[in-house]
Chains A and B, each alone.
Chain A
C-alpha cells in the first residue's frame, strides 16, 4: 500500500474516533465534581498515599461497568431505565427509580454544597449564592441557552489539571507513591469503610452508567462502530482516575504529612498551594464552582428524564409545563429540595459532599445485578453478551461493595 493511502486511512480512523468519542470523557470529568473532589481530598488527607491502591482498582471497576453500559446502549439503542422497565416490570422499576432519585437528590445536594463552599471561600453567604445558583440552573436548562454556559463551566472544571501540576511541584516520594498504588492496605475501621464506599460511590455512579448508556444510544453508535466507543470509555475512565489519583497525592503530600484531615473547603484548597500559593483558595473556589454548576445542571435533568422514560410520562424541555406536568414538577422539586438541604443552618458542607456518595455506593450493587442480567440476556444482546471475565469482575465488585456496606453497618451498630 502506498504511504499516502495508509496515512489517509489512519486519518480517517482518528476522525471516526473523534466523532464517536465524548461520552466517556464527559462522564470521566464528572469524577471531578464537588463530591468527587471532596471525597478524594478527605481520603488523601486522612489516609495518605495508602489510599492510592483503591483508585487503581476502582479504575478497573469503572471500565468494566461503563463498558457494559456503553455496549448495551450500542446494541439495544435504549436507555437503562427503558431496559429495566421492559425486562423487569413496574414494581422493580419503581424501587430502582426511587433509589436513583434519592441517590441523585443526595448528589445534587452535594453539588449545591460545593457551590456553597466556593461561595464562602470568596466571602459570599451561601444563603445568597445557593438560591441564586439553583434558580440559574433551573432557568438556563429550561430556556435552552445552556449550551454556551456549558462551555464556560467545562473550562472552569479544567482546574482539576492543577492538581497534576501541584503534585509535580511538591516532589512526593515517587517510589513510595508507586508502591502504595499497587500494594493494597486495608482496615476494617468504620471511617475507612466510609471513605472506601464514598470513593467507590463517587467514581462508579448508577447515574453515570445510565448517562453513558443513554448518550451512546442517542449518538446512534452501532455495534460495528462500538470498538471506538470502548476505547473512549477506557481512556475516559483512566483519565478521570489519573486526576483523582493526583488529588490524593496532593492532599497526602500537603495535608496528610501535616496531620490535617480535610473537613472544610479552606483546608481542601491548601492542596493546590504548591501551584498557586496564596491564590490556591481562589483557584479551588472557581474550579469547584464550575464543576458543581456543571453537574448540578446535568443531574436533575438526567434523573427526571430517566424517571419519565421508565413510567412513560410526557417529557422533554420542548414541551410546556401543561403538557408535561410530571416532568417539570419532578425537575423543579429535585433542584428546590437539594438546594434547601444545603441551606439547613449549621450543616457541615464537606461531610455532606462525601457522605452523599456513600448512598450512591450502596445503590450500586442493585444496579449492577440488573445490568448483569440485561447484559447476559441472549435475546437482547445477541453476540454482544458479557464475557466471563466481565461477569466475574462485575460480580466481584458488587460483592465487595455489599460486604463493605455490611461491614459499615455492623461497625455502626456494634
Chain B
C-alpha cells in the first residue's frame, strides 16, 4: 500500500502504549542512489522541544496513523548520508532523467516493499493531483474527474528515474552523478540553463571535465562565462583543453584580458598555442569560427596508405566529424581534398591524387562569417578549408559553426525568464 509524504507530515506519532510522542516533521531515507531508498528514520517535533529522530525499525505503521512498535524508542543519530525528504526534496526542483527535464516535486510516494515489508521511497509526484492533495482537495478532485469521466491528472515518476539536486551548505551537490552524466550534453545544458545560477554551477561541478566541456559548447556564451568563472582556474583550464579549440577560443574571447591570459598560461602549451592563433582573428570571420582540428595527409600516398596514415595520426584523432581529408604538401599548402566516403570506397592501390578534388572551394581567414555560411550552403559542403594568401591550410569551418551565423542556436532564441 502506497502512501504519500504529505499525508504523514504533521501527523501525531504514537508509541506502542498509545502515548503521543510528538508530530512527524520529516522523513529520512538512505541509499539514495538505489531505486527504492529505504526509510532510515523519522524526525519528530514537539512544541518548544528540539526535533529528534527515531530509527525506522521502530516504526510499525506510517498510515493511516504513525504507530511505533516500542514504547521507549532510542534516539537515532543522523550519519550525514541521509536525504531529508521534507527539507531537501519536497517542493524543490529535481531532474527527471527519463524525460530529460527539470520538474518540481509536489509530493513523494512511500511504499512497503520486500518480504519484511519495510518502508521505502518509491516515487516522485509531479502531477496536478499531487498539488491538489497538498491543498487538501484530492478527494474532491477525484470525484469531480470521475463525474466528468476524465482521468485525474496523475503523474508519478519512479525514484530510479530522477536525480535529486539537494544542495548542502556550502553548495555542493550530492547528485547521482551517473544519472546526469548519461544524459546528452545538450540536455544537461538545457537543465543547467533552466536552474538558478548557484544550483546550475553546483551541478556542473559534479561532472567530469569532458562532460563539462561538451555541455559548455551547448550553452549560451554569456552563461558559459559565468559557469567557467565558478570553476577553480586549474579546472577551468582543463575544461578548455577538452573543448574544441574554436569553442575554447570563443569562450576565452568573452573573458577579461587578465582572466584570458591567466587561463591560457594554465593550459597545456600545445592547446594554448592553437587557441591563441584562433584568438588573433576577429570573432565573426572564418578565422574566428574555424577549428584547428582536422585531418590531413601528405601528398603522394595511395588510398590504402592514406587510410593507414589516418589511423595512426594522433592529430586526426582530434577531428570530431572527419567529413573530409585534406591533402597538403610539406609546407602545409593545400593540394586537394577528398571526402572520407570516397577514400574508403576507392580501390586501395590507386593514388589519392587521382581521385581528389584538386581545386577545392576555400575561404580566406578574414572572410566574413555570413559569406562562409553562404558558400557552405551554396556548394552543399559539410566543411570548408580556411587558407591564407599562400594557400597554407590554417583550419576548417564546419557546417554547424558556419550556419550559426544565420540560424542562431535554440539558446540564443530563448527569451529570458522574466519572473
A195 interfacial by beta-carbon distance below 8 Å = no
Asked if residues A144 and B413 are in contact (CB atoms below 8 Å), the reply is yes
Q: How far is the CA of A274 from the CA of B62 in the complex (A)?
A: 75
B419 interfacial by beta-carbon distance below 8 Å = yes
Asked if residues A298 and B418 are in contact (CB atoms below 8 Å), the reply is yes
Asked if residues A312 and B126 are in contact (CB atoms below 8 Å), the reply is yes
B94: nearest residue on chain A (CB-CB)?
A: A312
In the complex, chain A residues whose CB is within 8 Å of the CB of B126 = 312
Asked if residues B419 and A81 are in contact (CB atoms below 8 Å), the reply is yes
Asked if residues A77 and B199 are in contact (CB atoms below 8 Å), the reply is yes
Stretch at the interface among A30-38, A40-48, A86-94, A247-255: A86-94
In the complex, chain B residues whose CB is within 8 Å of the CB of A312 = 93, 103-106, 126
B229: nearest residue on chain A (CB-CB)?
A: A222
B416 interfacial by beta-carbon distance below 8 Å = yes
Asked if residues A217 and B104 are in contact (CB atoms below 8 Å), the reply is no
Q: How far is the CA of A214 from the CA of B418 in the complex (A)?
A: 6
Q: How far is the CA of A316 from the CA of B411 in the complex (A)?
A: 12
A210 interfacial by beta-carbon distance below 8 Å = yes
Given the interface contacts A85-B91, A90-B91, A220-B197, does A311 sit within 8 Å of B131 by beta carbon? Answer: yes
Interchain nearest-CB distance for B231 vs A (Å): 14
Asked if residues A218 and B169 are in contact (CB atoms below 8 Å), the reply is no
Q: How far is the CA of A217 from the CA of B105 in the complex (A)?
A: 22
Give the residues from 115 to 138 in chain B that come closer than 8 angstroms, CB to CB, to chain A. Answer: 126, 131, 134-136
Most A CB atoms within 10 A — which of B104, B199, B413?
B104
B92 interfacial by beta-carbon distance below 8 Å = yes
B223 interfacial by beta-carbon distance below 8 Å = yes
Q: How far is the CA of A144 from the CA of B198 in the complex (A)?
A: 28
Most B CB atoms within 10 A — which of A220, A301, A314?
A220
Q: How far is the CA of A317 from the CA of B197 in the complex (A)?
A: 21
Q: How far is the CA of A85 from the CA of B101 in the complex (A)?
A: 19
Q: How far is the CA of A128 from the CA of B194 in the complex (A)?
A: 39
Interchain nearest-CB distance for A263 vs B (Å): 34
In the complex, chain A residues whose CB is within 8 Å of the CB of B417 = 79, 214, 218, 305, 309, 316
Q: How far is the CA of A309 from the CA of B91 in the complex (A)?
A: 11
In the complex, chain A residues whose CB is within 8 Å of the CB of B169 = 379
Residue tally, chain A, CB below 8 Å to B: 35
Q: How far is the CA of A402 from the CA of B410 in the complex (A)?
A: 46
How many residue pairs between the two chains, A and B, have CB atoms under 8 Å in the bound complex?
78
Give the residues from 365 to 419 in chain B that come closer than 8 angstroms, CB to CB, to chain A. Answer: 410, 413-419
A78: nearest residue on chain B (CB-CB)?
A: B196
Give the residues from 67 to 93 in chain A that come closer than 8 angstroms, CB to CB, to chain B. Answer: 76-82, 85-86, 89-91
A302 interfacial by beta-carbon distance below 8 Å = yes
A383 interfacial by beta-carbon distance below 8 Å = no
Asked if residues A86 and B418 are in contact (CB atoms below 8 Å), the reply is no
Give the residues from 179 to 205 in chain B that come closer than 8 angstroms, CB to CB, to chain A. Answer: 196-199
Asked if residues B91 and A86 are in contact (CB atoms below 8 Å), the reply is yes
Most A CB atoms within 10 A — which of B105, B223, B226, B418?
B418
Interface string of B152-191 (1 = CB under 8 A from A): 0000000000000000010000000000000000000000
In the complex, chain B residues whose CB is within 8 Å of the CB of A311 = 104, 106, 131
Q: How far is the CA of A86 from the CA of B86 in the complex (A)?
A: 10
Interchain nearest-CB distance for A377 vs B (Å): 13
Interchain nearest-CB distance for B4 vs A (Å): 12
In the complex, chain B residues whose CB is within 8 Å of the CB of A301 = 418
Interchain nearest-CB distance for B222 vs A (Å): 8
Interface string of B214-232 (1 = CB under 8 A from A): 0000000011001000000
Asked if residues A79 and B106 are in contact (CB atoms below 8 Å), the reply is no
Q: How far is the CA of A215 from the CA of B417 in the complex (A)?
A: 8
Q: How far is the CA of A311 from the CA of B198 in the complex (A)?
A: 21
Give the residues from 76 to 98 in chain B that come closer than 8 angstroms, CB to CB, to chain A. Answer: 90-93
Interface string of B133-151 (1 = CB under 8 A from A): 0111000000000000000
Give the residues from 282 to 307 in chain B that come closer than 8 angstroms, CB to CB, to chain A. Answer: none
A306 interfacial by beta-carbon distance below 8 Å = yes
Give the residues from 86 to 111 in chain A that come closer than 8 angstroms, CB to CB, to chain B. Answer: 86, 89-91, 94
Please tell me which one of the listed residues A76, A79, A314, A317 contacts residue B198 in the complex, with CB atoms under 8 A apart.
Answer: A76
In the complex, chain A residues whose CB is within 8 Å of the CB of B103 = 312
Asked if residues B104 and A85 are in contact (CB atoms below 8 Å), the reply is yes
Given the interface contacts A217-B197, A301-B418, does A91 sit within 8 Å of B135 by beta carbon? Answer: yes
Q: How far is the CA of A351 from the CA of B384 in the complex (A)?
A: 65
In the complex, chain B residues whose CB is within 8 Å of the CB of A228 = none
Asked if residues B419 and A211 are in contact (CB atoms below 8 Å), the reply is yes
A318 interfacial by beta-carbon distance below 8 Å = yes
Q: How far is the CA of A318 from the CA of B409 in the complex (A)?
A: 12
Interchain nearest-CB distance for A146 vs B (Å): 8
Q: How far is the CA of A316 from the CA of B101 in the complex (A)?
A: 13
Given the interface contacts A217-B196, A220-B197, A311-B131, does A79 sit within 8 Å of B415 by beta carbon? Answer: no
Asked if residues A306 and B415 are in contact (CB atoms below 8 Å), the reply is no
Asked if residues B134 and A215 are in contact (CB atoms below 8 Å), the reply is no
In the complex, chain A residues whose CB is within 8 Å of the CB of B90 = 89
Asked if residues A318 and B410 are in contact (CB atoms below 8 Å), the reply is yes
Asked if residues A90 and B131 are in contact (CB atoms below 8 Å), the reply is yes
In the complex, chain B residues whose CB is within 8 Å of the CB of A317 = 415
Interchain nearest-CB distance for B10 vs A (Å): 11
In the complex, chain B residues whose CB is within 8 Å of the CB of A379 = 169
Give the residues from 119 to 167 in chain A that come closer than 8 angstroms, CB to CB, to chain B. Answer: 144
25 pairs, A vs B, C-beta closer than 8 Å: A77-B197, A78-B196, A81-B419, A82-B196, A85-B91, A89-B91, A90-B131, A90-B135, A94-B131, A211-B418, A211-B419, A214-B418, A217-B197, A218-B417, A220-B197, A220-B223, A309-B417, A311-B104, A312-B104, A312-B105, A316-B414, A316-B415, A317-B415, A318-B414, A379-B169
The 4 closest A-B pairs by CB, nearest first: A312-B104, A90-B134, A77-B196, A77-B197
Apart from A89-B90, A214-B417, A220-B222, what are 18 other A-B pairs with CB-CB below 8 Å?
A76-B198, A77-B197, A79-B196, A85-B91, A86-B91, A86-B92, A90-B134, A91-B134, A94-B135, A214-B418, A217-B197, A218-B417, A220-B223, A303-B419, A305-B419, A309-B417, A314-B101, A316-B415
